[in-house]
Structures are given as structure tokens and as C-alpha cells.
Amino acid sequence: MLRRMTALSAVVLCAGKGTRMKSKKAKVLHAILGKPLCAYPLKRALELGATSVVPVVGHQAESVEKEVRALFPQAPLTFALQREQRGTADAVRSAEAALKGFSGRVLILYGDVPLLRKETLASLLAAHDAAGGVLAMVTTVLEDPTGYGRVLREGGRVTRVVEQKDASPEQRAVKECNAGIYSVDAAFLWKALADIKPNNAQGEYYLTDLVELAAKQGPVGTVVADATETAGVNDKVELAARAKVLQRRINDAHMRAGVTLHDPDTTFIEEDVVVGSDSEVGPGVSLTAGSVIGEGVVIGPGCVVSASTVADGSVLKPYSVLEEAKVGVRNVIGPFARLRPGTELAEDVHLGNFVETKKARIGKGSKANHLTYLGDARIGAGCNIGAGTITCNYDGVNKSLTELGDGVFIGSDTQLVAPVQVGDGAYVGAGTTVTKNVPPGSLAVSRAPQVTKEGWVAAKKARRAAKGG
């Protein structure tokens, strides 16, 4: 019982170069579903309650650290540097100073293994508890185990791991493989790491030597995981394959929770997106982290919703793009609308095709159905904004505010030169350039008077005929 209370920390190996990625970017920074590979194991460790997480960085240490810190600004991360890649044991040993004084269990994860589920890691900790020894490990059974360390057992008990290059033909026939994921008692870990020698085919410090040392102290706990979970990423083909599995896993969970995905193969929903039941998502849609979609929302084909909220019953027609926007209930948006950061729409708002908004607060029931730019705007309830309306919010130096009261009617092709206000119930005639405030209930028009010359076309033709002969 007491062991359940054991403190948890984690070491995540992120030092690798990833030569086969053929990229200038460090391997662990390559993304699947919007997040770098290493973000997944780091997040799992934090979800399990690790009070201290140590990413071990090496290749492109600075950019890896920078990106990871930006992703987890609040997390208890301490970065450790492995200068030279001398093997997995050496990599973990680089984390010792960062975990000085920590007593409890250390979870060891790979930064390039993104699909390991929280539940599997919880089972690993439970297996560690149940076995009562100093180490537990994740294993996986592979039809073709080539390249992996083999898990050797005697009478069912794990005795050690042998690497492919050091294995006898008999050992190579073993199909249970080491996934490289462990839970280790901290006190044992640091002592044992100091004893590991690079006496092997590769001349490396093998972390797997821990297993033999641990087996001498007590039973080694094991969890057998599915190979899809323990698979790493070595090249871009594998990157795409892992992304597909993650996409499927996330999409399945949404469908089981009552969301209709019309084509899950082309729907990209990142982790940490909420979608209410009875919502429908069309093909080619991306929903990025932090987005919250209500119930009964319809998202048409090709929409991109980034860190935005869309409340119940709203419709995003095809190819609408939302970024840090808040859409209220029963809105109708798009097709081809672009809602940029700071857009806040009340209920029953309609924004049609080729409407762009930025830092725009729009009140209940207001409509802008065609070809309009509303930036730095506060718009009241029940307004009608005609086609081609533009808030001229930028004078080359400053951004200024356009304010419309309730029930304002803006005729088509109007320019609102900010800062400017249009009062409740006012009308602005089509084609007007509004440069002065319009008081409530009044009409503003600025237009050159129309001139009509009857018979002008026939007269012109006659003149031309007379000249040309």
C-alpha cells in the first residue's frame, strides 16, 4: 500500500540526432498531430503525476529545450545535457544531477516513442508495485524482433536483456523484446548506473544492463504492450505511420463519445480538443489543441479551427478558418470566412463568405454576409453590415477602434475610417466613407451626386461615325 504513495519523477531521452530523418531539425522536434514527438512522452509523465521531469538533450540541445519549455511553460522540467552519445545508460546517468535528492521511482521514457498510452504506463507502475522489486519494464512481442534487445526469462522470471548484436542465435529467436521503457527505484538506479561498463559489441553503456542487476535484487515487473504503442520513429515514413495511428486513436475516441466524423481518415483532431456529442465534422477538417467545440455543431469540409471555441448549434460552412476565436451559440459562419484572434461572436451571428474579422466583438443577431473586413471593432446587437464593408483600422502607425451601436444598418461598400462611432439605429448609405461619428438614429451618406446623360451612347456613336467617315 505504501508504495502507491511513492514519489514519481521521469527521465525522457531526447538526445538523439535522428540521422535517418534527413533533416536539419532534431528528431524529437518533428511533429505528429501538431506537437513534437517528445511532447507526448513528456505529457504522459506529467499526467502520471511526475513531480520532476528531466528531458536529456544532446543534439541541438538549445532548440529542443527552447521548444519544449514553450510547450510546457508551467511544468517542473529540468534539462540535462548529454554531450556525447555513449549509450542509453550514459544518457540516463546525465540526468542524475537534475534529480539529486529525489527518492522514489524514476520513469524512463524515449523522446521518439510518442504513442505509449498513459494507461500502459500506469500498468507499468502497478507491475513495479506488484513485483516488489527495484525495476519494472515494458516489453512487446514481435514477429520480427530484429534489432531489438531480447528479454530473457528463466522459469518465467526476467533475468536480463541481451542486445541483438550481442545475442546468440538461440537468444535471437526470442520474440519478447525490450521496449526501452522502465520504472526504476531511484536509489538503485544511480548506484547501478555507476557500475555499468561498456563491455559489449557496440562499446556502449547499455541501460539494459540494469535489468540483470535488478533481477539479482528482486523480481522484475513486466507489462506487455502492443507493438503499435512502443514503436519509435526513425525516418519520415515511420513518422507518418505513427501520426496515422494517433489520428485514428483520437478520432475513434471522439466517435465513441458521439461525434460524427464523415471521413475520419482525413480528419485531424489534436490531443486536448473537446467536441460535444451530436456534432459533425466533415472531411479535411483540422481541429488544433485548445479548441472546444460544443454540442450539435456542424463543421463543414476543409475548416481549420485553431485554439478556438465554437458554442452549441453553430455551423461552420466549408473552408472557414478560425484562430483564437470565440463563436457563440447558433452562429452561421462561412463558407470561406476567416476569424482571426480576438474575434468574439455573441449568439445568432451570421458571417458569410470572404468575411475577415480580427479583434472584433459582434453582438447578438448581427450579420455580415459578404466580402467584409471587421478589425478592431465593437459591433452591437442586430446590426446589418452590407457587402464590401471595410473598417479602416490602421493609419500606418496606430490601430483604432470602430464602434457600432445596436441595430445599425451599414450599406454596401462602406468604409469606416477609425476611430469612429455609429450610434444605435443609425443608417449609413451604400458607398459611404464614414470619417465622422454618426449619432444614433441618423443617416450618413457621402457620395458624389449621380449624373445621368440620356441618349449619350447613341450620340457618341454618331460623333464617331461622322469623324471616321
Would you name the residues annotated as active-site residues?
A: 370
Exposed/middle/buried for 26, CB within 10 Å: 0-12, 13-18, 19+?
buried
Beta partners for residue 293, in sequence order: 275, 310
The answer to whether 441 and 423 are in contact (CB under 8 A) is yes
Residue 82 binds ligand UD1 (CB under 6 A): yes
Reduce the DSSP state of residue 23 to 3 states and report it.
coil
Q: What is the C-alpha to C-alpha distance for residues 425 and 404, in angstroms, rounded to an integer? A: 9
Q: What is the C-alpha to C-alpha distance for residues 135 and 120, in angstroms, rounded to an integer? A: 16
Q: Nearest approach, Cβ of 252 to ligand UD1 (angstroms)?
A: 26
Residue 25 binds ligand UD1 (CB under 6 A): no
Q: Nearest approach, Cβ of 138 to ligand UD1 (angstroms)?
A: 10
Strands 304-306 and 286-287: parallel
The answer to whether 307 and 286 are in contact (CB under 8 A) is no
Contact flags string 29-68 toward ligand UD1, x per CB under 6 A: ---------------------------x-x----------
Q: Judged by CB under 6 A, which stretch of 37-45, 110-118, 184-192, 267-275 contacts ligand UD1?
A: 110-118
Q: Which three cell numbers stand for residue 62?
A: 538549445
Identify which of residues 132 and 147 has a Cβ nearer to ligand UD1 in the complex: 147
Q: Judged by CB under 6 A, which stretch of 78-86, 333-341, 373-381, 410-418 contacts ligand UD1?
A: 78-86
* Closest by Cα among 341, 340, 347 to 367: 347
Neighbour count for residue 119 (Cβ, 10 Å)? 11
Residue 161 binds ligand UD1 (CB under 6 A): yes
Identify which of residues 163 and 356 has a Cβ nearer to ligand UD1 in the complex: 163
Residue 208 binds ligand UD1 (CB under 6 A): yes
- Which residue from 41, 55, 133, 180 is in contact with ligand UD1, where contact means CB under 6 A? 180
- Which residue from 87, 328, 363, 375 is in contact with ligand UD1, where contact means CB under 6 A? 87
Q: What is the C-alpha to C-alpha distance for residues 434 and 422, in angstroms, rounded to an integer? A: 9
- Which residue from 10, 13, 210, 293 is in contact with ligand UD1, where contact means CB under 6 A? 13
* Closest by Cα among 32, 66, 68 to 53: 68
Site residues (CB under 6 A) for ligand UD1?
13, 15-16, 56, 58, 82, 85-88, 90-91, 110-112, 148-149, 161, 163, 177-180, 206-208, 232
